[in-house]
Amino acid sequence: MSLTDTKSYVSMPSTPTTPTCDPEFFYSFVDFEVDGVCFCLPTQPFEQSPFFVELFKEQPRPSRSQGSAAQNVRGVQRYVLNDVSAEEFRDFLRILLDCPWRRVRTVSNVRALKFSSSAYLSFMKLATLWRFDAMREEVANDLYDFDNPAMKLLIGTKFEQKQLIPSALHTIVRRAEPLEPEDYEILGLDLAIRVAKCREYCRSAEGW
């Protein structure tokens, strides 16, 4: 199809029209400032969160003026999210706004876990803080086959995702290799010591 062919499929109205807004695919946008960085995002994903629903009711969303992003960034009123770093927020958004065309596929065309361990940790932290309960459960369930048992155990215990704990604990307790420095870094000293004690008990009880 040549460029001229598109004219038969797409046109600009010569006079103003008043179409109806699609109930599902007509997006509004909201501006946030996080750690000195401005983000312009679709509103709908944030309406999954009672935290943001209440915020939008208490402080109605300001309208965005016309013009380029560079022209608007100073004049746009926005919600400032405190106690969150810009990188944490980016990690959160990468998972919240995950789309099929952004997903990594394996050779068998099965969706792979493409985000870093720290990204999942940031997401779970902010999803808990902002009460994205359904999304948090869905992401936690996606982590069931996560190949990092230490991170899976941390997420399971820290964010009360009990479905992750048994398989993570079984893997890390019964593996032949000792706990690595990376495991201690992920788990933290207290949880790592408890895991080490569990490994010692199982080895003694089963005569490993």
Q: Is the dihedral of CA 76, 123, 180, 114 positive or negative?
A: negative
Q: Which residue has the higher pLDDT, 107 or 64?
A: 64
Q: How many CB atoms lie within 10 A of CB 33?
A: 17
Distances (CA, A) of 127 to 59, 108, 124, 171: 21, 31, 5, 27
Structural tokens at position 207: 């005569």
The pLDDT tens digits for 33-54 are 999 999 999 999 999 999 999 9
* Domain spans in the chain, listed from the N-terminal domain onward: 146-208
Q: How many CB atoms lie within 10 A of CB 193?
A: 13
Q: What are phi and psi of 104, to 5 degrees?
A: -80, 135
Please state the rounded mean pLDDT for residues 178-202.
Answer: 92
Give the pTM.
Answer: 0.77
Separation between Cα atoms, residue 204 and residue 208, nearest integer Å: 7
Look at residues 177, 110, 124 and name the one whose alpha carbon lies nearest to residue 153.
Answer: 124
Q: How many CB atoms lie within 10 A of CB 40?
A: 14
Helix, strand, coil shares, percent, the chain, to 5: 55, 10, 40
The pLDDT tens digits for 85-128 are 999 999 999 999 986 544 444 444 344 567 888 899 999 999 99
Separation between Cα atoms, residue 62 and residue 73, nearest integer Å: 13
Residue with tokens 């990376």: 182
Q: What is the pLDDT of residue 125?
A: 97
